Amino acid sequence: MQNLFLAKILASLTSHESLVDVRDSAVLAAISGGPDSTALLLALRVLQEDLKIAVGAVHVNHKMRGEESDGDEEYCRALCKRLSVPLYVHTAKKTSRSSEESMRRVRYDFLCSQAKAKGAKAVFLAHTSSDQVETVLFRILRGTSPAGLIGMSPAYTLKDGTNLVRPMLDCSRDDVMDFLKECATEARFDSSNDDVSYTRNFLRNSLVPLAKTRFHSLERQVEKLRVMAKSDESFMDLCVSHAINDIGGTLSNRWKIERIADLHESLSRRIIARALKERGIETEYERVFVILNMMADSNTRQRISLNEHWDLAVERGELIWIKMPEEIESHGEHTYSVHSPGTTVLTALDKTLGVHLCEEAPAINAVNRESLDILVDLSRVKSALTVRRGVSRDQIQPLGMSQMVRLKKYLHSNNKRSRALGPYVLASEDEILWVPGLGFSDKIKVIDKPTHRLSIGSIAADISIC
């Protein structure tokens, strides 16, 4: 049995399907002192020469169970000393009660920091096939998309670049206990695992055992479902990628609704879900269907807030993703980073600034400096655009002139003309490019053909911001 357990882990780490090649590298194992993580560390120590890996261990003491928590830490220290494995410990602040999610966040933050500090290629987690079944059941009961049925991945890369590897997903809890027995090692027992107020414990201790009295092959059947869902989702991902390319790409901020409306609902739903994910917005069932309903009523101007960074609007047959402005303090209050291309909402001014690509070169007529909808060439602008208050050091190269002048002098010479944004201007660092309603810089004048269209609009009263 020991050889079978080790063979499963070795196969997981060396298979051609392995997403992270950890051979010839340093790795860290997350250990709690419980059976699963203890078996993982023992196995890695045995396989260390075969894989040519340098193994370290990480333990987090959450201080939730008093002396028992400290006992887990002491056990981990003694185990690592016996195995000649370096151990890195984090002691969390003691609280009366923490949620599963908050404790998980503490653990993962420490795992990631240690992986970077020690130059580890991956952090190993001791999730088993039994954990996989619990994960799938939990997602079903909570409400999940078909993609959620895939369960935990054998390997996953976090946003900070840390690789998480789960080499025991083909090993059952029985495999773990048999391996520990043959190694003559007794792991720690976490008494909080009996607390069914935690969702995982309720599934593990109450729901799964009860279901298995009637459905003896529960774990095997859930695994079959998971494997089929994984295959189906792989195919659907390809379909979604092709469909998204046809409408302009996931990160395009303007989509023609008619191009999405002709697609099957399954594709439309997944396109929206992927767009949310790419923008860092939580993908929820209700949120996706709110957006689909907005698209179904595309003749009505609508607007919703998705989170603190993104709004979404439907207008003139388009679905418009609106990146909310980030206010910065370098030039005083209400300085907005401009999204190019895209729409910037100037909340303090009750205005919007649109920066749209010119895909086709329109005919250029006489230049109207006072227009709030102008064609420009931004190819010579190298720095990021902002909308902010004009200050004394600002300069502008007025249209038709070859020299820079102080903004103050330019405004004084045009003091009888109105400014659409009051004291606010469109700038690139300390150079003013446009004073809406008054005039724009010669630097963005169209010589050959325009690259962008700039337009000032109002935040429509009939578009609600939720």
Residue 437: pLDDT band by 50, 70, 90 thresholds?
A: confident
> Residue 83 is encoded by which pair of tokens?
């195995």
The mean pLDDT value for 115-135 works out to: 92
Rounded Cα distance between 231 and 222, Å, is: 14
214 has pLDDT over 80: yes
pLDDT of residue 459: 61
Average pLDDT for residues 442-465, to the nearest whole number? 75
DSSP, collapsed to helix, strand or coil, labels residue 47 as helix
Would you state the pLDDT for residue 289? 86
pLDDT (0 to 100) of residue 465 = 33
**Span 271-284, pLDDT tens digits:** 999 999 888 888 87
Q: Is the pLDDT of residue 369 over 80?
A: no
Lowest mean pLDDT among 318-322, 389-393, 460-464: 460-464
Pick the closest to residue 433 from 449, 422, 445, 446 (CA basis): 445
Residues near 272 by Cβ (< 8 Å), separated by ≥ 6?
A: 288, 291, 292
Distance CA 34, CA 42 (A): 12
Rounded CA-CA distance 404/396 in Å is: 5
Taking residues 257-263, report their average pLDDT: 88
Q: What percent of the chain has pLDDT over 70?
A: 91
Separation in Å, CA 286 to CA 245, 290, 292, 324: 25, 6, 10, 22
Q: Can you tell me the mean pLDDT for 289-304? A: 86
Answer yes or no: are the C-beta atoms of 39 and 4 closer than 8 Å: no
- Is the pLDDT at 11 greater than 80? The verdict is yes
Provide the pairing of β-strand 122-124 with 254-256: unpaired
Over residues 84-94, the mean pLDDT reads 87
Stretch 352-357: mean pLDDT, rounded? 87
**Exposure of 306 in the CB half-sphere (CA atoms within 13 A):** 26
Determine the pLDDT at residue 325.
62
| Dihedral of alpha carbons 445, 446, 451, 455, sign | positive
Is the Cβ–Cβ distance between 431 and 362 less than 8 Å? no
pLDDT band with cut points at 50, 70 and 90 for residue 196 = confident
pLDDT in tens, 341-351: 888 878 777 78
pLDDT band at 126 (very low <50, low <70, confident <90, very high): very high
The answer on pLDDT for 466 being more than 70 is no
Q: Which residues contact 436 (CB under 8 A, 6 or more apart)?
A: 372, 419, 420, 421, 425, 426, 456
- For the record, the structure tokens of 109 come out as 């933050």
Residue 328: pLDDT band (50, 70, 90) is very low
Paired strand residues for 455: 354, 373
Residue 31 confidence (pLDDT):
95
Q: How high is the pLDDT of residue 72?
A: 92
Query: Considering only CA atoms, which of 464, 405, 466, 465 is closest in space to residue 439?
Result: 405
Check residue 58 and give its pLDDT. 95
Q: What is the mean pLDDT of the chain?
A: 84
Of 37-41, 266-270, 444-448, give the range with the top mean pLDDT. 37-41
Residue 393 has pLDDT above 90, yes or no: no
Output the pLDDT for position 184: 92
At residue 104 the predicted structure's pLDDT band, cuts being 50, 70 and 90, is confident
The pLDDT score that the predictor gives to residue 239 is 92
Render 320-332 in DSSP notation, one character per residue.
EEEEPPPEE-BTB
